[in-house]
Chains A and B, each alone.
Chain A
Amino acid sequence: MDAIILQFLNGLDKGSAYALIALGLTLIFGTLGVVNFAHGALFMIGAFCSVTVQRILTLSSESLSATEKDFLGNPLKIKTPYVENWFGPEVGAALIDWSVPLAIVFAIPVMLLVGFIMERGLIKHFYKRPHADQILVTFGLAIVLQEVIKYFYGANPLPTPAPSVFVGSFDFGPLLGLDTSLAYPYWRLVYFAFSAAIIGAVFAFLQFTTFGMVVRAGMADRETVGLLGIDIDRRFTIMFGIAAAVAGLAGVMYAPINSPNYHMGMDFLVLSFVVVVVGGMGSLPGAVLAGFMLGILESLASMNEIKNILPGIDQIIIYVVAIIILLTRPRGLMGRKGVMEE
């Protein structure tokens, strides 16, 4: 029982990353009709926003140590972060400690800007082009983005720890009246809560604002909305920015879970496409539902009890589920008819 609860939590956690990326992808599919292979790269750039903020905060002045030597026998360079010089050691250290949450503030404008530039500079010219061209251009862009990151940050994973308050794990055992311990890391709980909040905010935005209403109408019938004299293009640009920001924020908060590296976007790319399609093309709730569902199933499949019966099932479960769902439900869980079916 406790094992199942733990895996359920894991599934929610993985699912929130899948759901956030898939949500952004679906927004772009649904509103702009563009297959965006660079979406994984946006997630990766988000994670590197965390790294960047951490780097900025740890920019240091160097002084030579009188006693200690470095590996070549030269005097060791002692680095003191400027923030510690300016705000005092305690405040400075706290700032550095909180660099990942602080990165959210940094990432939102950056990601919006990246999104706007991408849409205005490139994607806009591909609305009327075949999907094949969209795939090629966005895939090319994804490669370029990750190579640029690699050029500046190297290929190695970069440790980006969460604030020290969130280190360690919370024990659900006593809370649920179990006699075994049921520990789950704080930061992963934070990640889940954060994702839920973002997903909620996106839905609320689309549901309750005029802007959202227009965008939803545009998703359903772009031409008619255009005929009504509404500048749908501008709204779509903003929508692209929001989708980029959602992917980016998913990346910012993901950085402490696994050290970011330049190819993490590609690792998520294929999976997020599977999630979107299983959820059904053009359906935002479908994307979120499929994200959580596949996350949970993947976690459950990696339980030892199941792996003992079906070795290797954890490697293929997502694809098996995708095949079963697509064969039983022609348009995924909640797909709309006629979207990307030709």
Chain B
Amino acid sequence: MFGLNKRDAGLLLVVAGLALFAPFLLNPFPTDSAMAQFNAGYPDLMQRFVIFGVFAVGFNLLFGLTGYLSFGHAAFLGIGSYSAVWMFKLLGYNILPGMILSVVVSAVFALMIGYISLRRSGIYFSILTLAFAQMLFAIAYSDLIGRFFGTPITNGETGLQVYTSDPQFFHSENLPDIPHIFGQKMQSTYTLDVGAWSFDFNFGYYFCALILIAAFYLAIRIFRSPFGLMLRAVKSNQQRMNYTGLNTRPYTLAVFVISGMYAGLAGGLMASMDPLAGAERMQWTASGEVVLMTILGGAGTLIGPILGAGFIKYFENIFAKINDNVLHSWFSFMPDGLENLMVALVHPFVGKGWHLTLGLLFMLVVIFLPGGLVEGGQRIAQRLRGKKAAEKATDTSKTPAE
């Protein structure tokens, strides 16, 4: 199918299925039940899942294939967002020009940063990318360029946003005042009620989901192409490649730029779903986050980064919202003393303690599932398939989902 072998086609179908049915899958609990706290099927979070999925898939093209660990990828995410918001400000709220520009501009930056950084390898490369990203972050956060030109370019820490006084050249009366594509609003949501359940179908989400599927398909093709093979050769032994008289740098630079474009695309999507570009999304913590997403899911696997992205965003958004009131309502069926004890026990891990849970989970995953979440999935699959199939699976797990 589409030039993919059976396994890859299956994987693509899995991703497409997950993405398209997310509104159902993420809202497993009835709306009014106490467990509804764990429902993640509301538009904003679903959008974040797929946008960070695109970001992580792109990051994995670089890291998973070549082993080059960029610690400054969030810079491209931010650049993509700023480009898109500038298009909203100048041209209007139709997201297409913004999306195109975000990919183009981030490609230009990736080309410049990659050209310089790829002269080094290993941790020296990581620190070079980190240094560039931190520079760009500082410039955006204090709007150093804007100060130079005397007009806001990134609008500092407040974030770049659209004002009614902006030119918005193509904006007209009958177009919505929020991001849209040819009049179809990104935030329009269609709600389906089935019994006690309700499911949100958000236009913006599906737009992002289609892009994720396309981005994922492209990633598979890159993984399987001769180009991808060349990149993996770089990972296993760059020196030998160089000795054979082959210059690997054009290949690594190409994948660096592609990966930067993925990040820029994700940034453009973020701005399209929510027209504000904040500088924090360029900070090293954001770059670190995509590294963690990829490793957590399984670096070098195709689907791993998407799982990792979902995992981290889920905890950030769902666990932070659980407060003591919620805890009391969960344990309210217990006798008072026990209820308070349970609340006290769970309390440090939720709400303001969500970081603690995330940190512990990072450690648990990496200790017990060395290949990330994908490894975990494979182990479960092995158990299910029984021992005989397990032996077969061990052969393939060497090249997990590649």
Of B119, B122, B148, B362, the contact of A136 (CB 8 Å cutoff): B362
Assuming A151-B348, A316-B138, is B363 touching A132 (CB within 8 A)? no
Q: Which of B67, B147, B356 has the most CB of A within 10 A?
A: B356
Of B63, B119, B362, the contact of A143 (CB 8 Å cutoff): B362
B359 x A143 contact (CB < 8 A):
yes
Q: How far is the CB of A127 from chain B (nearest CB, A)?
A: 13
Instruction: For chain B, residues 108 to 127, give those with C-beta under 8 angstroms from any C-beta of chain A.
Output: 116, 119-124, 126-127
Quick check: is B322 within 8 A (CB to CB) of the other chain? no
A142 x B359 contact (CB < 8 A):
yes
A341 x B144 contact (CB < 8 A):
no
Bitwise, A242-282 to B at CB < 8 A (1) or not (0) is 00000000000000000000000010001001100110010
Q: How far is the CB of A44 from chain B (nearest CB, A)?
A: 14
A274 x B130 contact (CB < 8 A):
yes
**Which A residues lie within 8 Å of B238 (CB)?**
342
How far is A143 from B123 in the complex, measured between Cα atoms in Å?
Answer: 22
A148 x B356 contact (CB < 8 A):
yes
Quick check: is B301 within 8 A (CB to CB) of the other chain? no
How far is A332 from B135 in the complex, measured between Cα atoms in Å?
Answer: 19
**Which A residues lie within 8 Å of B366 (CB)?**
133, 136-137, 140
How far is A141 from B139 in the complex, measured between Cα atoms in Å?
Answer: 31
How far is A319 from B139 in the complex, measured between Cα atoms in Å?
Answer: 12
How far is A137 from B284 in the complex, measured between Cα atoms in Å?
Answer: 18
Instruction: For chain B, residues 346 to 393, give those with C-beta under 8 angstroms from any C-beta of chain A.
Output: 348, 353, 355-356, 358-363, 365-367, 370
Q: How far is the CB of A261 from chain B (nearest CB, A)?
A: 14
Q: How far is the CB of B290 from chain A (nearest CB, A)?
A: 12
Q: How far is the CB of A97 from chain B (nearest CB, A)?
A: 34
Quick check: is A238 within 8 A (CB to CB) of the other chain? no
B284 x A143 contact (CB < 8 A):
no
Quick check: is B162 within 8 A (CB to CB) of the other chain? no
Assuming A132-B69, A273-B127, A274-B130, is B360 touching A140 (CB within 8 A)? yes
B292 x A326 contact (CB < 8 A):
no
In the complex, the chain A residue whose C-beta lies closest to that of B308 is A136
Q: Which of B119, B130, B353 has the most CB of A within 10 A?
A: B130
Of A144, A312, A323, A342, the contact of B128 (CB 8 Å cutoff): A323
B139 x A139 contact (CB < 8 A):
no
Quick check: is B134 within 8 A (CB to CB) of the other chain? yes
In the complex, the chain A residue whose C-beta lies closest to that of B148 is A311
**Which A residues lie within 8 Å of B142 (CB)?**
312, 315
Quick check: is B261 within 8 A (CB to CB) of the other chain? no
Instruction: For chain B, residues 323 to 365, give those with C-beta under 8 angstroms from any C-beta of chain A.
Output: 348, 353, 355-356, 358-363, 365
Of B121, B144, B288, the contact of A311 (CB 8 Å cutoff): B144
How far is A125 from B142 in the complex, measured between Cα atoms in Å?
Answer: 43
Quick check: is B306 within 8 A (CB to CB) of the other chain? no
Assuming A143-B362, A147-B359, A340-B122, is B296 touching A136 (CB within 8 A)? yes
**Which B residues lie within 8 Å of A147 (CB)?**
353, 355-356, 359
**Which B residues lie within 8 Å of A234 (CB)?**
none
Quick check: is B295 within 8 A (CB to CB) of the other chain? yes
Quick check: is B131 within 8 A (CB to CB) of the other chain? yes
Bitwise, B34-59 to A at CB < 8 A (1) or not (0) is 00000000000000000000000000
In the complex, the chain B residue whose C-beta lies closest to that of A277 is B127
A129 x B138 contact (CB < 8 A):
no
B367 x A323 contact (CB < 8 A):
no
Bitwise, B284-301 to A at CB < 8 A (1) or not (0) is 110010011001100100
Quick check: is B311 within 8 A (CB to CB) of the other chain? no
**Which A residues lie within 8 Å of B292 (CB)?**
136, 139
Bitwise, B58-83 to A at CB < 8 A (1) or not (0) is 00000100010100000000000000
How far is A264 from B355 in the complex, measured between Cα atoms in Å?
Answer: 16
In the complex, the chain A residue whose C-beta lies closest to that of B138 is A315
Instruction: For chain A, residues 135 to 174, give those with C-beta under 8 angstroms from any C-beta of chain B.
Output: 135-137, 139-144, 146-148, 151
Quick check: is A330 within 8 A (CB to CB) of the other chain? yes
**Which A residues lie within 8 Å of B288 (CB)?**
139
Q: How far is the CB of A39 from chain B (nearest CB, A)?
A: 14
How far is A125 from B368 in the complex, measured between Cα atoms in Å?
Answer: 11
Instruction: For chain B, residues 269 to 323, give those with C-beta under 8 angstroms from any C-beta of chain A.
Output: 284-285, 288, 291-292, 295-296, 299
B116 x A270 contact (CB < 8 A):
no
How far is A148 from B360 in the complex, measured between Cα atoms in Å?
Answer: 11
B359 x A270 contact (CB < 8 A):
no
Instruction: For chain B, residues 148 to 179, give those with C-beta under 8 angstroms from any C-beta of chain A.
Output: 148
Quick check: is A320 within 8 A (CB to CB) of the other chain? yes
**Which B residues lie within 8 Å of A319 (CB)?**
130-132, 134-135, 138
**Which B residues lie within 8 Å of A278 (CB)?**
127
Quick check: is A327 within 8 A (CB to CB) of the other chain? yes
Q: Which of A140, A326, A332, A341 has the most CB of B within 10 A?
A: A140
Of A131, A140, A146, A320, the contact of B363 (CB 8 Å cutoff): A140
Assuming A135-B291, A139-B362, A143-B355, is B147 touching A331 (CB within 8 A)? no
How far is A135 from B372 in the complex, measured between Cα atoms in Å?
Answer: 13
A316 x B124 contact (CB < 8 A):
no
A330 x B356 contact (CB < 8 A):
no
In the complex, the chain B residue whose C-beta lies closest to that of A145 is B359
Q: How far is the CB of A280 from chain B (nearest CB, A)?
A: 9
Can you identify 26 A-B contacts, CB atoms within 8 angstroms?
Answer: A132-B291, A133-B295, A135-B291, A136-B292, A136-B366, A137-B366, A139-B292, A139-B359, A140-B358, A140-B362, A140-B363, A142-B359, A143-B356, A266-B285, A270-B130, A274-B130, A277-B127, A281-B124, A311-B148, A312-B142, A315-B144, A322-B128, A323-B131, A326-B127, A326-B131, A327-B119
Q: Which 9 A/B pairs are nearest by Cβ-Cβ distance?
A: A143-B359, A140-B362, A147-B356, A319-B131, A341-B122, A140-B363, A315-B138, A144-B359, A312-B144
B interface residues with partner A (beta carbon < 8 Å): 63, 67, 69, 116, 119-124, 126-128, 130-132, 134-135, 138-139, 142, 144, 147-148, 238, 284-285, 288, 291-292, 295-296, 299, 348, 353, 355-356, 358-363, 365-367, 370
A interface residues with partner B (beta carbon < 8 Å): 35, 122, 125, 129, 131-133, 135-137, 139-144, 146-148, 151, 266, 270, 273-274, 277-278, 281, 311-312, 315-316, 318-320, 322-323, 326-327, 330-332, 340-342
